Every structure is written in C-alpha cells, then in structure tokens.
Structure 1
Amino acid sequence: MSNQIRTNQDVMNMEMLKEGISHRIHEFLVTKSEDGNPEDLKNKMTEDFKIMLRMALRECGGGNTQAKNLIREFIRKILLDDYQIRSDAIDNLILFHDPADLTVLDRFEILLYQYRLKFGTDGLEKLLCRCNPRHHDHQGKEMFDIAAQDINALFFRESEQPDYLDKLGILTQRIFEESLGCGCVDLLWDMRLSVLMAGAAPGESKISVWVEIEDRTFRLSFLQMEAEELEKICRRIIKSMKDESGRLKKELPDHTSVTVKGPPTTEDWMFFIHRPDNFLSEK
C-alpha cells in the first residue's frame, strides 16, 4: 500500500478520497512489475491488466459499459484493500445514517441502485413511474415532470436501509461519476432507454435532463445542473469517443449514437444520446 494511501480514518471528505484514488490509479499504472522474469505469469497478467485499465480510462467517460464496469471495480478494490473503508466512514461521505440530511441526488441514486437490483436495466422506468409524475401533452407525446419532491416522497415511502455492500456500491459509483464518468447522468446511461439528453431549454438558464422510454418523455427537473457541470460532461464524452485519428466516433458498440454540441458551433453545450429500439447490450 502506498504511504500516501491510508486507512479510513483519514477519509475526511469526498474530494480527499477522490484525489487519493486518482493517485492510486496513477501509481499502479506507472509502477513497474515486480523484479524477476518479465515473462513470469504474474508480471505478464499485471501488465496485460494495465493495458486494459488504460484503455478503459480513455473510454469510460463516453458510455462504454465494459470500460465503466472495469474502472468501477478497480475503485471498489482500492476502497476495500487500500482504505479498508468501514461503514461509518462511508456514512461520513454520504449520510446514509441520517436520511433527512441526504440530498435529492443521494436519494435518487440510492433508489436507482435498489431498483437496479430488483429490475435490472428496467429499474429507471420502474422508478420514474412510481413517482406518480405530473402528466401533460407535448407535441402529441406524453410528457412527465419529475421534481425533487417526487423523488423525496418516493424515497421515504419505499427506500430500504442499505447494508455495507450497498453503501460501498453507491459510494463507488459516486466517485466514478464525479471523477471519470458523466456526472449525475452517468447512471441513467446504463439504463434501458431510447433517448437521454441534457441542455438548456429555450428561455431557461438552468440545465435540464430528459429521458425517453417507450415513447414517454420524462423531464428530470430534480437533476438540474449548472452550465459548468454540463460542459465538463460534454468534454469527457468528446475525449472518450475520439478515435486514434482524433475523429469523434458517432456510434458505440451497443449501437448507441452520441451527439455533442458546444461553442463555437452553438452558444451552449448539450448532448443527445439515442439508443434504437431501447437496445442495451447488457441486461
């Protein structure tokens, strides 16, 4: 264990933890394999894994499911092996022990984690429909608005107290999405949906997030973000989707197409993700 990585009593806040994990990943990638025969099976496996990890780091911000899973599992391993993180230390980072002080994002991610366990990639649709959202017609389509009070009400009505492994999984996702993934929309990308988009609606300054599932459109009002966060997400998507020639790939292996727009082409940043026929490679 690195002398800069200590046990969980040193985990004071999320920023410190993210910085420590980033350092640990970098340290692992640059440290040479153990002395001895470079063809030794253990050394060879380590070097092969480093190649996979570097590739995953390049692609995980653009929705590549396999890349995301590899990085998340490596973060989880660091939390367990290097930090030996306990339940009480996790509670200091995400206030599982005090539900009244959780943010609406905390509550949503706890709910979505639990719905994913029960319903797989259908979890998002199940969750949104259980919010009893307000309905109206928009250009001939059903439109539902999911506000913070809807998420809060569902959370206190249905959420279960997470055990240690649940807390570890939710914390791992939070670290990944804030450091390497697509922020608060990262989990949505993993769900079964046909459209995921984020941007400012005409005449509005706040960023909104929309998803479309089975011809129903949900506006996730509770996930509004600042323009700086959306720009960061868009830049991560662009960086992750460039091929070796620097061109932006239009389609992922699961046939998801991604469009990112921003200055100077457009005044504001936005992204649009389309998955034909709700196709998702992993159920």
Structure 2
Amino acid sequence: MLFWNGIAIGMILLVLLAFLIYKLRNPISVPKVKTNVDSEKFNIKAMTKYIKIQFNEMTGRNLYDNALDRADFERQKNMRVELKAALKGCNSGDLYDKMYVKDLIHDLLMKGYGMDEQNVNYVLPFDEPEKLTVQDKFEILMQIYKKKHKYKALPQMIEEYRLDELKNVIEDGQTESYIITEEEILDIYQEKASKLSFEDKMQVIVQRIYQEYKGFGVIDEIRNMLIDGVSGGVSGLPSSMQDIEDEQKLLEAMRRGSKEDVLHSVWIMYRGKTMHLSFLSFGSEREIKRICQSIYKYNSPGQLTEQNGYIINDMKDNSRIVVMRPPFAETWIFFNRKFDLTFADLENFLNPKGRGYTFKNTVLPLRFIPFLMKSTRTIAVTGEQGSGKSTFIMACIKFYAATLALRIMEMAFELHLRKLFPRRNIVTTKETAEISGQQGMDVQKKTDGAVNIIGEAATDEQVTWIIQAGTVASKCTIFSHHPKTFKDLISSLRNSALKTGLFQNEFIAEQQVVSILNFDVHLFKDPEGRRYIERITECVPLIYQENPYPEDSEKARIEFYKRMTDKRAYEERDIIVFEDDGYVAKNPITEHQKKDMLKQMTKKDCAAFEEMLSTFWPVAS
C-alpha cells in the first residue's frame, strides 16, 4: 500500500514540476479569458483599413461643409496641412514625420477604435507566446530594447548576444557567414520577454500598422537603428527563377516560406559586417516591390521604370538609397546606406569606441593626417566599399582652415558637411537629370572655391573633374576611389583621362595625374569588420628625382634611350603603414614635398609640423 502511495505522490510531483517548468519557460503566458470581442474587427488588416479611411477623411474632407467659426476653421486647416506633409515626409526618411503619424494612429485606435486591455491580445496573441511568429517576437524585443536604448536597440541586442560572430549555418553548415537565425531570436525572446504593459503592446501594434501602410515593411524600424545600412532583395530565388515542376510542390513551398526564397532577404551592414537577418520575411514579392517604389521618392528624383532601371538618391535623414528593378536587375532590390556623423571624428575613426578592438600607435596617423589638410595636399582616399572612405573625409574636414571655401560635387548627397560645420563656407552640388556633373563643375569654378571635394570618382568623366580641379580650379582636391593598390590608382586615373579624350598620349596623361596627386590614404576592412588605414603613400613624380645625364657622350646617349623607352612618371613612397595591429612610421616624406607643405602653412603649424616629423622620423629630419 505504501508503495502505491509513493508512486502516486511521485506522479503528482512530476506533474507539478512539469507545470512549473512550462510556466517558467512561458513567463508572459496568462489564462485567456473568454470574451465577446469581435475577432474580425481586432486584427491588423481591419485596423489598417480603418486608419486609411480615417486619414483619407481627415485630408480630403471639405472644411466649408462643417460650418466652423474662423478660429476652428484655421485650426482644422493647419492640422490638415500638417498631416498631409507628415504623410508625405514619413516615408522619405523623416523621423519626426514618422513619429507624428504613429502618434496619430495611436490616438485614433484608442479614441475611435476602442482598444483596451482585452481586445489588444486579439490583434496579436501577446498572452499566448507560442502563437506569436518570429517577426512578432522580434518586434516585441525591439520595443523592449527601445525603451532603454532608443535607436541603439538593435546594436545593443547584437552586442549583448554576440550575434555578429561568424557562424556555420548556410550551405549545409560548410560555409561561414554573418547571419542571425530564427533560433537565436526565439532564445533571446525566451530570456528577455516579460509581461508587457498595455502601452508596450499598443506600440508594437501601431508600428506594425504603420510599416504596412506608410512605412517600409519589416525593415522600417531596422532602418532607423544606428547601423551602417540595410538592404533587401539581394539573396534567394525570386519566383521566376524557382525550378519546381510540380504545381502542388510550388504552392507548398510558397506556403512554408523557404529560407532560400527572395522574401527572406533582409540584410544589414553593422560595423562593416554584412549580416543576413534570415528570420525575417517580406511576405511577398509585391511587398518588396512596394518598398522599392516608395523608398527612393524624396525630392522627386524621377521614375523607376523598365527604361530607367535604377535610381541613386538620398533620403531626408541624409542616408543614400539605391533601388534597382527588372529587367536591369534580376529582381527588385534596394540598398539604404547610412552615415553616422558621430564617427566623423578622426580620433574616433582611428580607435572607435565600443567596437571591441583597439590599435597601437594611433597617435602617429592622428598627428600626421591633419597636416595634409593644413598644407592643402591633393589626396585620394581609397579602399573597398564599406571601408569608411566617406566617414574619413568627413573626419578630416575640420583640419582645413576655416578661411578656405569648400566646394563639393557628389552623385547623391552623402557628406552633409553643412550639418557638421554650419558656419563654414560650403556649397554642395550633385548631378541631376537636367544638369550634368561637368556643368556643375563649371559653375563651381566661378564660386570662389579653394578646396574641391569629389565624393566618389566612379566614372571616367568624374576622374576628369579631379584633373580639372587640380590644375585650374582650386588649391587642392580630396576624392574617394576604389583601387586596391597605388599602382592601380594611377593606372585607373590615367586610363580614364585617355578614354574621355582629355589626353591622347599615355605617358603625358600619367604625368598629369601624378603632378596633381600628392598622397593616397588607403583604407581597409578586414574579415572581422575592423576598419583601419592600411597605408599612407606619397606620390613622387620622377621629374623631381631625375639625375643629370652622365658627362661621357656615349653613356649619356644610352641613358637618354633608356629614359625614352622605359619611362616611369612616378614612384610610390609608403609613409605610414599598418603592421601587427598598429601604425608604423616607414619612409619620411620627400624633401620637395616637405618644402611645399611648409610653404602652405602658418608659422605656428610649420613649427608643429617640424616637431612631429622629428618625433616619428628623427633621422630624416
């Protein structure tokens, strides 16, 4: 008898233990109360439709029909104008317009739709976490993190759970990549989620309605985070490329939502690392198309059509947007590149705070680079995409004398130097459909500019702008380019000058390039996402290095033919290089370069320059 009683007690204890474990693993689960709530009314689709109707009425109704007095009429009129402007600006990257529209959605749902503590759980099953999708849980996590970390929410979660580490997930686990998986999000939710307040739930719902109505779908909140950028449509197979013969299998694959389709193609760039958010889906190819057709519209850059298959533009928040569509691209694609102005500081660029790594002897480039600007050197900032070229240029601008007027030419507004230096003389122009870049350069020549900045020398024509600016238009030029080596840089600039017909002779074209260029600052991004200056190289035109001909006539003749048949217009001289996680002083700058730099600087800067050279290159000085 005692034996069977023991068995019964043991079974009861096991059941209690299992129940306790379940409750601990589902901390926000509460008993669902049966109510008479209209489930057809309280869902995202119905609520989004309600918001659309309300906004249409608010912006389209005739105020004269309401028999308002003058004060009320003006108030209603101003509110309508403000709402129209916010609805237009919110999907152009204006965060304040987005907040205005979201606040209005919140008020309409609370006051006009009857949201309360009970029906909020019918919109999304907050009280039954097992029914929440991974997107639901991710957006809840963003709301939880945003309460404390604001727009550092996503970076904070990535850092806290080390989500930016390489993983063996794709291609049967044989290939390393930066990827955040569904399993990781579910685990974080299990650990972080607690009982949500009613207001937290409302904020999640409001964001979902906003992003499906006026925002950018699943990337809407991600785009506002302090990351380097976000893109979509860049991986997976579009439906037109899926090779499924059986119609039933195709429908089943669409229902399951394969992780290898184009819908699961949300990518971010975070601290130089391109990461796949494989747990998120756009839901349909129509949704990707909708985002592509709306995200580039700021300042009306033209229409994205089959004939004009791509558009490069900027957004209200100063980020760059590139959109592509078929037939130019194999599917609808967008790239939104952000520029964090908080890193537009040379010291922070060389040793970024909170990045988890530091470099040795950063004082060397930190002291040397400012003198390149003070002495108005012409500088190429080179490196691959994402290596930090634009950020580096922004970080260096403050070292130019405030007396020098800056003139910038870009494909799309990216540097935003007026935001950093509002009291300096700065004019930025870009190409448009009606005004070519060459016309823009011609206008800039008549605007008293001293420093020319060319955002990116990506085309042959843009290279000619560098040569024009370096010869007749300004004291100096700084530009970005994408070559891997110094030799590649010179060859690329020379070949572009030849292609455009600016020069006919290859050697003369190369001579012209090296006579303009003083230094190449080459940036590098390693596989771990660390960004640093790989080298600072001086361009030494050989016209300053040629030795006199020998006095012996025969030897002089041989030397003459040697120089004519083996012409070299330049030598490259590495001044500072990156070795063993630190910066090393290599060769001193040439005497000719030193004299020219001293000639362009004030007496105070000359003394500091001489002192810096004697510290790091004591033998040469």
TM-score range, shorter chain: 0.7 to 0.9
Q: Which residue in the other structure is 1:185 paired with?
A: 219
Please say which structure displays the higher CA radius of gyration.
Answer: 2
The superposition leaves residues 153-194 of structure 1 with CA deviations (integer Å, 9 ceiling, x where unpaired) of 000111122111111111100100111111111011111111
The superposition leaves residues 228-273 of structure 1 with CA deviations (integer Å, 9 ceiling, x where unpaired) of 22112112224x4252976978122331111111123222111111
Q: Which residue in the other structure is 1:147 paired with?
A: 181
Name structure 1 gaps, 5 residues minimum. 1-7
Relative to structure 1, the CA distance from residue 263 to residue 276 in structure 2 (aligned partners, 3 Å threshold; closer, same or farther) is: same
Corresponding letter in the other structure for 1:146: I
Q: Any residues of structure 2 matched to 1:1-283 within 5 Å, and which? A: 9=38, 11-33=41-63, 34-37=66-69, 40-133=70-163, 135-136=165-166, 144-201=178-235, 205-207=261-263, 208-225=265-282, 226-238=284-296, 240-243=297-300, 250-277=313-340
Do 1:195 and 1:273's aligned partners in 2 also have CA atoms closer than 8 Å?
yes
Classify the secondary structure of the residue corresponding to 1:200. coil
Do 1:192 and 1:279's aligned partners in 2 also have CA atoms closer than 8 Å?
no
| Cα distance in 2 between the residues matched to 1:156 and 1:113 | 15
The superposition leaves residues 186-220 of structure 1 with CA deviations (integer Å, 9 ceiling, x where unpaired) of 01111111111112327653341111222233210
Relative to structure 1, the CA distance from residue 46 to residue 158 in structure 2 (aligned partners, 3 Å threshold; closer, same or farther) is: same
Do 2:301 and 2:313's aligned partners in 1 also have CA atoms closer than 8 Å?
no
Do 2:320 and 2:336's aligned partners in 1 also have CA atoms closer than 8 Å?
yes
Q: Which residue in the other structure is 1:3 paired with?
A: none
| Cα distance in 1 between the residues matched to 2:91 and 2:165 | 33
| Cα distance in 1 between the residues matched to 2:225 and 2:71 | 38
Corresponding letter in the other structure for 2:291: I
| Cα distance in 1 between the residues matched to 2:197 and 2:236 | 43
Do 1:254 and 1:279's aligned partners in 2 also have CA atoms closer than 8 Å?
no
Classify the secondary structure of the residue corresponding to 1:259. strand
Q: Quote the offset at 1:143 in angstroms.
A: 5.1
| Cα distance in 1 between the residues matched to 2:312 and 2:75 | 30
Do 2:312 and 2:323's aligned partners in 1 also have CA atoms closer than 8 Å?
no
Corresponding letter in the other structure for 2:68: G
Do 2:135 and 2:280's aligned partners in 1 also have CA atoms closer than 8 Å?
yes
Greater shift in the superposed pair: 244-253 or 62-71 = 244-253
Corresponding letter in the other structure for 2:294: R
Do 1:128 and 1:146's aligned partners in 2 also have CA atoms closer than 8 Å?
no
| Cα distance in 2 between the residues matched to 1:155 and 1:125 | 16
| Cα distance in 2 between the residues matched to 1:174 and 1:74 | 14
| Cα distance in 1 between the residues matched to 2:67 and 2:181 | 57
TM-score normalised by the chain length of structure 2: 0.40
| Cα distance in 2 between the residues matched to 1:202 and 1:162 | 35
| Cα distance in 2 between the residues matched to 1:197 and 1:279 | 22
Q: Quote the offset at 1:126 in angstroms.
A: 1.0
Classify the secondary structure of the residue corresponding to 1:241. coil
Relative to structure 1, the CA distance from residue 279 to residue 180 in structure 2 (aligned partners, 3 Å threshold; closer, same or farther) is: farther
Greater shift in the superposed pair: 65-74 or 110-119 = 65-74
Aligned-residue Cα RMSD (Å) equals 2.7
